[in-house]
Amino acid sequence: MLYGLKGNGKSCVTRIKMAKNDFTDAYKKIAEQILAVPETVVHMTIVQMAELCETSEASIVRFCKQIGYEGFNDMKINLAGEISIGNQSIQENVVEGDDDETILQKVFSSEIQALMSTRDMINTKAFRRAVDSIIAANKVEFYAYGNSCPLASDAHYRMLKIGINSYMGVDILDSLMHANMMTPMDVAIGISHSGSTKHTCAAMETAKNHGAVTICVTSYDKSPIAQISDICLLASSNETTIFRTVAMESRMAQMAILDALYVAVAFRRLEKSKRFIHLTDKLLSEEKY
């Protein structure tokens, strides 16, 4: 599996967000303190941090190692760097009582941050392999369910417009039947914020069993869909409010990934893309008044 993560480019806060589903209760408490008061944490000793989180110093060290650091000091150095360059990606949640102007500010800020975090996380090698696979494929199929369907539908339409033989399942049975006809010359792209949507995972696994290259766009690198996929492109997410099931931030980040794939594929085969765009526009113009 090739993950869409930059090893050293992945910020401390982003590492915590991406791993939060795998944390124990003790680790979640440590994570909450780091996200809540990062400016304070960077000036703490490990003894003070352990006291704040009501845990042991050893647990603090293990937590830091789980998110990819050598220890507490290493984590603090990276966290301090994020704060000093103004790249702190702590979401300021919308709360009851916020007026319309405040809500507008907070929503835009959090979605901009999700886009920036995702941009910094994407591994160029994984992205390039995804583009190569799409260009070489006989057929590209998109699988999604629920809130992810509009993203898949838009990506499918864009690929068709530049001449990529693309398909999107209309329901789970349709997706599974098409996945059952995939070959090693095809590509399956699954889109799921949680990475745990059974219908999407089932279609992806079926396609993989038939030899297709599998690419997923998700927010969780240890999710079922990530484990199934040959290439995993991760979108940053910080859905921590009552509206988290809508996955607003990750939706924007996933859309940006799909847009980038579309543009990269189009420019790699520019003359073909231009020709198909012209043909499509000509056809669609006949449907306009």
DSSP 204-236: HHHHHHTT-EEEEEES-TTSHHHHH-SEEEE--
Least confident of 41-50, 218-227, 279-288: 279-288
Is residue 113 one of the residues assigned to a domain? no
Q: What is the mean pLDDT of the chain?
A: 87
Task: Give the phi and the psi of residue 96 in degrees, each rounded to 5.
Answer: -60, 130
Q: How many domains does the chain have?
A: 2
Torsion of CA 50, 51, 52, 57, to 10 degrees: 0
Q: What ranges make up the beta strands (E) of 90-198?
A: 139-143, 166-168, 186-192
The overall pTM is greater than 0.85 = no
Q: What percent of the chain has pLDDT over 70?
A: 89
pLDDT in tens, 155-176: 999 999 999 999 998 889 999 9
Check whether residue 167 and residue 80 sit in a common domain.
no
**What pLDDT is attached to residue 112?**
84
Whether residue 179 sits in one domain with residue 74: no
pLDDT for the residue 89: 43
List 141's β-bridge partners, or say none.
167, 188
In the sheet with 186-192, reading across from the earlier edge strand, the strands are 2-3, 231-234, 213-218, 186-192, 139-143, 166-168
136 and 77 share one domain: no
Q: Same domain for 252 and 126?
A: yes
Expressed as residue numbers, the domain containing 129 is 121-285
* pLDDT tens-place string over residues 49-94: 999 999 999 999 999 999 889 999 999 998 888 776 554 444 456 7
Give one word for 54, left, alpha or beta, with left for phi > 0 and alpha for psi -120 to 50: left
Domain shared by 151 and 212, yes or no: yes
Q: For the domain that residue 179 is a member of, what is the CATH number?
A: 3.40.50.10490
149 and 241 together in one domain: yes
pLDDT in tens, 218-249: 988 889 999 999 999 988 766 555 454 446 77
Domain harbouring 81, CATH code: 1.10.10.10
Residue 100 lies in a domain: no
Query: Which residue in the block uniquely carries the two structure tokens 């490990």?
Result: 46
Residue 117 near residue 89 (C-beta atoms within 8 A): yes
| pLDDT band at residue 96 under the 50/70/90 scheme | confident
pLDDT for 129 beyond 60: yes
